[in-house]
Amino acid sequence: SSHHDFADPDALRTAFTLAMSSMYKAEVPLYGTLIHIVNAVNASTRTADLDPRVLAMRHGNVASSRLDIERHGAIRLGTPYELRTVRRIFAIIGLHPVGYYNLAAAGLPMHATCFRPRSTASLKKNPFRVFTSLLRPELIRDDEARSLALKLLSKRNIFTAELINLLDLADKQGGRLTVDQGTRFVIQAMETFRWHGTAASSHDDYQLLKREHQILADIACFRSAHINHLTPRTLDISAAQEEMKSQGLKVKDRIEGPPGRNCPILLRQTSFLAIEEPVQFFTAHTLQSIESEAKLVSGSHKARFGEIEERGAAVTVAGRQLYDELLNEAMAAAESTSQNSTPEELDRQVEVAFQKYPDDWKTLRAQKLVYFTYNVTNRPLPDVKSSFTLEHLIQQGVIDITPITYEDFLPLSAAGIFRSNLGTQASSQSVDALSNEAGMEEALGAKLNSSDELYKSMENESIRLCEAELGIKII
Ligand code: OOG
Ligand code: NI
């Protein structure tokens, strides 16, 4: 092959995922433990007992399972320049910004998007995704903390010169890199997401930012946008949670998201709490003379954690509304029972509230709560040649339905994960407060994709494929 052969973005994404996974395993050894637990749980999950539709959704195509490779990560960025450059990095491995997450509702001066593959084919190969949040300085209340954070961020550069060169090169090559360039690109990109044990601030500055908000120190005091967790997907999150506990991991007190169901929806997540890592800080006096004889003081930082997830079906706008409504109902009920509602009480209230969420695929489809793809079975076409409605073909068993796997995040769960690691309290502000999607697009320098549009087009694409296969028009 010549040097003109471009690397397949999906293959580059897999190289990137594997590089990141082995880097994180070396940085956070407990992540290795977590992977062992998840692999063991997945291997011993009695898949024969699972609804084939659930299995298809959880496993992807069994012949080329996406389960083993699947990971999501999270990074926190400080400036629009960093976000724009990260967008360019991710575009090369086939990840695009999808959706808007307002974290102000969780009391965080941030908002976020998810970089992920968009097409069915690409998702099948490797659905790696990165929850990417961006600091919103205008939401930092304290003037001194705000200007210090901005000053530190304006001084740092989280991208190597070679990485920027490769990004420029990709622009000239239609957004692609050769295999050779791709290999160098993955190595250089890891530098942006690696952990650096030497801070980019003095210990005093770190303390000042941490007093304002722990997340501020995490974003502004380091030399990289360190990946703060990497999440494998499990077939059975309850079993994995128990196993994490029995192996002595400091597990979050409850699983976030919907309760366990026959027809799983959205996303259930749990995590082990952030580890404390040693950091070398410059003393305030020597910060100006880093090159010469910098004096270091030892400190520590808590940011990185382990998380696992179990994915269910993507829900429609109506399905999402019902989910939000029932979750709010459960939280209100749990709070009204006592001043300090326990995790067990919240779990109980969630179970109760979600009895109102239909739990069989037929009803979920009839009420348009979940997105489905359609595929042709081996049943013969019925004789009536007139017109074929989708409903008729499903009734006749010619076409089968499969729920589409949810590929995004849940802001409330994200807020719960953030809180469990930051030790902060929930804010009483409404979820819509302080939302600024236009500001996110402006910082990104691109439009956000709508996840609903993507799920709808996956649905439509599958119907078109059925038509082609059956040689008919489906109305
Ligand atoms: C991101 C937390 C959100 C998830 O799975 O919802 C997240 C962060 O801590 O930066 O990863
Ligand atoms: Ni996560």
The contacts of residue 362 (CB under 8 Å, 6+ apart) are none
Distance CA 423, CA 217 (A): 14
CA distances from 392 to 385, 389, 396, 461 (A): 12, 5, 6, 19
The CA–CA distances, whole Å, from 110 to 76, 92, 138, 418, 426 equal 9, 25, 10, 12, 15
What the block records as the tokens of 422 is 């930051």
Position 1 scores a pLDDT of 47
| For ligand 1, atom 6: residue with the closest CA | 414
Task: Compute CA distances 354 → 269, 307, 335, 346, 426, whole Å.
Answer: 17, 24, 17, 12, 22
Ligand 1, closest atom to CA 421?
Answer: 9
Q: Which atom of ligand 1 is nearest to the CA of 414?
A: 6
Taking only the tens place, the pLDDT of each residue in 440-454 is 999 999 999 999 999
Q: Which long-range contacts (CB under 8 A, 24 or more apart) does 285-289 make?
A: 287/201, 287/202
Atom of ligand 1 nearest to the CA of 409: 6
Which residue in 48, 60, 170, 46 sits closest to 121, CA to CA?
60
Cβ count near 155 (within 10 Å): 10
- Domain residue ranges of the chain, discontinuous segments joined by +: 9-197+210-236+412-440, 315-360, 371-404+445-475
On the 0-12 / 13-18 / 19+ scale of CB atoms within 10 A, 246 is: exposed
| Smallest CA separation from ligand 1 atom 10, residue | 74
Positions in the chain whose pLDDT score sits under 70? 1-4, 59-67, 284-294, 339-340, 384-386, 411-433
Write a three-state SS string for 429-460: CCCCCCCCHHHHHHHHCCCCECHHHHHHHHHH
In angstroms, the CA 41 to CA 240 distance is 6
Of 126, 49, 13, 70, nearest to 310 by C-alpha is 70
Q: So what's the pLDDT on residue 107? A: 83
3-state secondary structure of 60: coil
For ligand 1, what atom is nearest to the CA of residue 229?
A: 11
For 90, phi and psi rounded to 5 degrees? -70, -30
Q: Which residues contact 340 (CB under 8 A, 6 or more apart)?
A: none
**CB of 357 within 8 A of CB of 323?**
yes
Q: How far is CA 139 from CA 107, 151, 221, 445, in A?
A: 10, 16, 18, 21
DSSP H or E stretch at residue 375 = strand 372-376
pLDDT for the residue 434 = 82
The pTM score is 0.92
Q: Which tokens in the block code for residue 44?
A: 């011993």
Residue nearest to atom 8 of ligand 1 (CA): 74
- Name the residue at shortest CA distance from atom 2 of ligand 1: 414
The Å distance, Cα 411 to ligand 1 centre, comes to 9
Q: How far is the CA of 1 from the centre of ligand 2 (A)?
A: 39
Cα 185 to ligand 2 centre (Å) = 25
Question: Cα(472) to centroid of ligand 1, in Å?
Answer: 45
**Residue written as token pair 């997105």:** 371
Helices (DSSP H) in 3-51: which residue ranges?
A: 9-27, 29-44
Contact call for residues 464 and 379 (beta carbons, < 8 A): no
Q: Which residues are near ligand 1 (CB < 6 Å)?
A: 74, 76, 131, 133, 228, 269, 307, 409, 413-414, 417-418
CA 199 – CA 108 distance, rounded (Å): 22
Does the domain at residues 9-197+210-236+412-440 carry the CATH identifier 3.10.180.80?
yes
Ligand 1 pocket mutation, candidates 71, 418, 419, criterion most atoms within 8 A of CB: 418
Which residues sit opposite 14 in a β-bridge? Answer: none
Q: Which atom of ligand 1 is nearest to the CA of 309?
A: 5
Quick: pLDDT tens for 150-205: 999 999 999 999 999 999 999 999 999 999 999 999 999 999 999 999 999 999 99
Q: Sign of torsion, CA 47 51 52 53?
A: negative
* Atom 3 in ligand 1: residue holding the nearest Cα: 414
The 3-state DSSP composition of the chain as helix, strand, coil percent (nearest 5) reads 50, 20, 35
Half-sphere exposure of 2 (CA within 13 A, CB side): 1
- The amino acid sitting at 119 is S
Cα-to-centroid distance, 228 and ligand 2 (Å): 9
What is the per-residue pLDDT for 175?
Answer: 95
Task: Look at strands 276-282 and 198-202 and give their pairing.
Answer: parallel
Token output for 62? 């069994």
Beta strand segments in 194-352, E: 198-202, 229-232, 267-272, 276-282, 296-302, 306-311
User: With contact defined as beta carbons under 8 Å apart, do 356 and 367 qualify?
Assistant: no
- Cα-to-centroid distance, 394 and ligand 1 (Å): 39
Ligand 2 mean position, distance from CA 300 (Å): 22
Q: Which pLDDT score is estimated for 64? A: 47
Handedness of CA 112, 17, 192, 178 (dihedral sign): negative
Between the CA of 374 and the centroid of ligand 2 the distance, in Å, is 30
At CA 211, angle to CA 206 and CA 212, rounded to 5? 105
Question: Which atom number of ligand 1 is nearest to the Cα of residue 73?
Answer: 11
DSSP structural state of residue 246: H
Measure the CA–CA gap between 105 and 120, rounded to whole angstroms: 32
Interface predicted TM-score (ipTM): 0.98
Nearest C-alpha to atom 5 of ligand 1 is from which residue? 414
